[in-house]
Amino acid sequence: MRRRLVLSGLAVLVPLIPILIGLSLGAGSGAPAAAPSTATASAVHFDPVGAKLKVTPQNLMLPPGTGALVAALQRPTVMRSTPGGPVFAKLATHTGFGSPTVVWVEKLSGPWLGVASPQAGNGRVGWIPAADASLSRVDWKIQVSLADREVTVLHDGRPVEHYTIAIGAPSMPTPTGHFAVTDRLNTGDPTGPYGCCILALSAEAPHAIQDWSGGNRIAIHSTPETSTIGQAVSHGCMRLTLAEAQWLIDHIPLGTPAYISSA
């Protein structure tokens, strides 16, 4: 009798097994998915959209030697007021005169170069990424004494040339400070107002210069009016003879520091 009851019960339950399994799966489909393991969750990371890029400071591979450090732009770049700070100017690979853009590096800060340029202005440095430039050194330096009305050229720290110059008139004085050579230009007209040759500087005068396509940029240039040499008569530029200017063009590289002093 008992065996008959067990067999009868199994006969009733067997057809219900698929239904019970279906009900179990249906009840589980509304349950939340299992949380990922701690190891899987920590391996995934997302940065917020618009997050600021972090620049990792790095040591620059500086060229050997003791000369002034100069940077030749390899691609267009931007100039910032501080290392990684706000952008205030753009620099092209060539100047407005068509020369390669080579700037004197006055300061270093991690992967940033503090450079002298017309865009930075007198007495200021602008900051550019070192990755956008190629570094080298120049062994030349120009020193100008407005009081003595003389330019001295130094090579490897030794004076090699002294030239008497005309300087800016009292109403249009030659600016003082630390600057750099940006362009070496031949005029093609030795009898013109700028003679044969122009050594343009990063210095800027506070006024426009008459008949000068460089705006208010200051330069050391030759003049056929040799009687003005030694006088304070120019619009701010420094004048010397054709032969002396030609020597400068032949020897002074781009980026050479130029120190103009009132003493």
| 8 A C-beta contact, residue 226 and residue 241 | yes
pLDDT at 15: 47
pLDDT tens figures, 66-94: 999 999 999 999 999 999 999 999 999 99
pLDDT at 221: 96
Neighbours of 85 (CB within 10 A): 10
Residue 172: strand, helix, or coil:
coil
The confidence band for 215, taking pLDDT boundaries of 50, 70 and 90, is confident
**24 CB-contact burial (10 Å; exposed 0-12 / middle 13-18 / buried 19+):** exposed
User: For residue 84, what are its two tokens?
Assistant: 């990684």
Average pLDDT over residues 171-196: 94
The Cα–Cα gap between 103 and 234 comes to 26
pLDDT at 59: 52
Q: Is the pLDDT of residue 9 over 80?
A: no
pLDDT at 158: 98
Q: Is the pLDDT of residue 33 over 60?
A: no
Quick one: what percent of the chain has pLDDT higher than 70?
76
| 8 A C-beta contact, residue 167 and residue 221 | no
Using only C-alpha atoms, what is the Rg of the chain?
Answer: 36
Residue pointed to by tokens 């570094």: 135
**78 CB-contact burial (10 Å; exposed 0-12 / middle 13-18 / buried 19+):** middle
Q: Is the pLDDT of residue 38 over 60?
A: no
Higher-confidence residue of 59 and 222: namely: 222
Average pLDDT over residues 16-45: 38
Residue 173: strand, helix, or coil:
coil
Name the amino acid, one letter, at 145: S
Indicate the average pLDDT of the chain. 82
pLDDT at 22: 41
User: For residue 142, what are its two tokens?
Assistant: 């120009």
Specify the pTM: 0.76
* CATH of 140-261 among 1.25.40.10, 1.10.10.10, 2.40.440.10, 3.40.50.150: 2.40.440.10
The Cα–Cα gap between 70 and 38 comes to 53
Which of these, 74, 69, 57, lies nearest to 109 by C-alpha position? 57
Higher-confidence residue of 259 and 60: namely: 259
Per-domain boundaries in the chain: 68-138, 140-261
The confidence band for 237, taking pLDDT boundaries of 50, 70 and 90, is very high
| 8 A C-beta contact, residue 129 and residue 145 | no
The confidence band for 55, taking pLDDT boundaries of 50, 70 and 90, is very low
* CATH of 68-138 among 3.90.1300.10, 3.40.50.720, 2.30.30.40, 3.40.50.2300: 2.30.30.40
Which of these, 198, 232, 228, lies nearest to 213 by C-alpha position? 198
pLDDT tens figures, 121-156: 999 999 999 999 999 999 999 999 999 999 999 999
| 8 A C-beta contact, residue 69 and residue 255 | no
